[in-house]
Amino acid sequence: MIGYIQGKILKKEDDRLLVLANQIGFEILVPAVVMDALSDRHVGDELALHVYYQQTERQPKPVLIGFIQEIEKEFFQNFISVEDIGPMKAVKAMTLPVGEIARAIEARDLDALARLKGIGKRTAQKIIATLEGRMSKFALMRAESKTPSPATDDVAQQVLDVMVNQLGHRVADAKRMIAEAFKRSSVISTPEDLFEEVYRGELPGSQRSVEGDD
């Protein structure tokens, strides 16, 4: 099974690349969001891709799907676990950065998910039902870096611990609130920033009322 390819671009199309590696040309499908990140790569350039390999009895011809980061591939594998979303549909649907899709799932944002190519409201509901609560790692991905920031990860964990262990929130609720906070603001860098954004727009005294329940 092929999981990683490093080579030279022989051909670049809207949704796929032909990559020469070890004297073999591999045709690799690429989601739109990944192709956007490769906009500065041209024929003759070197590149490396993490590859999802798809071959079934119904589809005996092997299909390779490429990602810049391994975490994007991991998200893709979670995404196709949703009923009615196969690999080919998922490739077409990934028109937004992984972090944005993940944050929409954790925030139960049906409208945002339904705007993905080929995804309607009914499928968006299935996505949330299947993946909500499993997207926190992916939700921390920022479009600028394409990978989760360790610093951001630490900040989120600190806030999650306090919300659950000291303020009495349920884990799923706390993760959803944190995901929504990151969705609203891209400048969060400290636990204080995150707390402020998490409780922005909440009813006055909501944080105190939770504390008073202990």
Q: Is the pLDDT of residue 214 over 60?
A: no
The helix/strand/coil state of 188 is coil
pLDDT tier for residue 202 given thresholds of 50, 70 and 90: low
Q: Of 15-19, 131-135, 140-144, 198-202, which has the strongest mean pLDDT?
A: 15-19
Q: For tokens 């549909």, what's the residue?
A: 89
The pLDDT assigned to 53 comes to 92
Pair type for strands 4-12 and 46-54: antiparallel
Q: Which residues contact 190 (CB under 8 A, 6 or more apart)?
A: 155
Q: Is the pTM of this model over 0.85?
A: no
pLDDT tier for residue 142 given thresholds of 50, 70 and 90: low
pLDDT in tens, 71-101: 999 999 999 999 989 999 999 999 999 989 9
The pLDDT assigned to 90 comes to 95
Least confident of 34-43, 111-120, 182-191: 182-191
Q: Is the pLDDT of residue 18 over 90?
A: yes
Q: Is the pLDDT of residue 205 over 60?
A: no
pLDDT tier for residue 123 given thresholds of 50, 70 and 90: very high
Quick one: CATH architecture of 4-71? Beta Barrel (2.40)
The pLDDT assigned to 101 comes to 94
DSSP string, 28-89: EE--HHHHHHTTT--TT-EEEEEEEEE--SS--S-EEEEESSHHHHHHHHHHTTSTT--HHH
